[in-house]
Structure 1
Amino acid sequence: MTTATTTGAAFRLHGVRLGHPGNTVLRGLDLTVRPGEVLAVVGPSGCGKSTLLRTLAGLLPSRGGAVEQDGRPIGGPHADRALVFQEDALLPWRTALANVELPLAIRKEPKAERRRTATEWLGRVGLADHAHRLPHQLSGGQRQRVQLARALAARPRAVLMDEPFGALDAQTRAGMQDLLVDVLAGTGATVVFVTHDVDEALFLGDRVVLLAAGALLDVLDVPLRRERTADHSALRRRILSSL
């Protein structure tokens, strides 16, 4: 399969205040997300990681400041941006193949074309032999593979991931991290990846954003990324001490 390369989305937040009426979780947020990068976001529970992701997705308006994609204000959800959650959110009555086809059907792509695309993506995530199984017939890791295939089959310019591997056991989680790196190769998509796991952030991220209650603490470049044997001990200690 040859993956169609897209131009990754660029995001810019300037002086942003995020949260709900009466509950501001982030203030004065200035952040740039570069086209095609994997930006990992870490921080303690309640610091605003998921709120940031939902604002970038267009599901939650900012309480102030500017939130832009490619220089234009984000006014709501868009097919350019795909969301991947910890819960797989697959439709239980649709097969794995039909779940992957769903965003393509919503776009009204021809049936034969969307079937071909969905079949290719299921193959790429290692589930070619499971295409006609229902979600309850799949393991947790397999369901997450279907969700990932569904997100990428629609050729988004940005993939926004909210702790997608958090419920998986350690071995399955490591396998999903490797799979994500593999399937993203050549797509050009920008990824914002929220996680509680510092090691996961250091493995996947080109940069790591540190959030604390109410504020952005730092944005760190990650050397030797995507290498399990890389020595990130100093950077890991720096992140953990900040959190």
Structure 2
Amino acid sequence: MTEVKIAAIVEGHGECEAVPLLIRRIASIIDPGFVPTVLPPMRVPASRLRKQGEMERFVTLASRKLQGRGGILVLIDCDWQDGCPAHDGPALLERAKQARSDYPISVVLAKKEYEAWFLAAAVSLRGKRGLPANIDAPSDPEDIRDAKRWLAEKMPRGTSYSETADQAAFTAIFDMEVARRADSFDKCFRDISKMLRELKEDANAWTCPDQASLKPGDMQADGEPTH
């Protein structure tokens, strides 16, 4: 199968490590042997991407990094005043597609912040990285303003939640199916799954062309296509 590549645009240092893990975990659900190549993410503040012309510019840069086929994922926190993933997400996606409509593109806005997804699946993190063995998820994880602080307050005295150390570690182990009760993660999961399936099918098509459509001169002596 031809290599499947994803170029990601994220906000924080923690997401630079966590998002590739998240993509690969979802890929393994589609096919345990499916390991997409996630290029080193570009780190861009949401406040910048929301400015006119900036989303378009960075999506174009991401497409150049792919050097051909691949998908583009934009994943940012929707934590600005009056921010709403259901309203702001489609508008940002439209701008991204205007820049490169020839690539599969997904724009995911985590409601409030990425860590809200850990809160939604808090039970699956019991006893992990200093969290108590009896931790329960809050009733409305995406309504908590500071999910990082919520996690930090559950950790032992003298320790704290570290975005650069803990975000990727929790991403590797949190129960994604449980986390899908958070609407923004459910969309994230569905978007990434859809993109990966499309790219995988496209890669398979390029690896195994329909030989019935090839002309005799397109075949080598060993029966392999000449292109």
* TM-score range relative to shorter protein: under 0.3
Which of 1 and 2 has greater Rg?
2
TM-score of the superposed pair, with normalisation by structure 2: 0.26
Structure having greater relative contact order (Cα 8 Å, sep ≥ 6) = 1
TM-score of the superposed pair, with normalisation by structure 1: 0.25
User: Which structure has greater strand proportion?
Assistant: 1
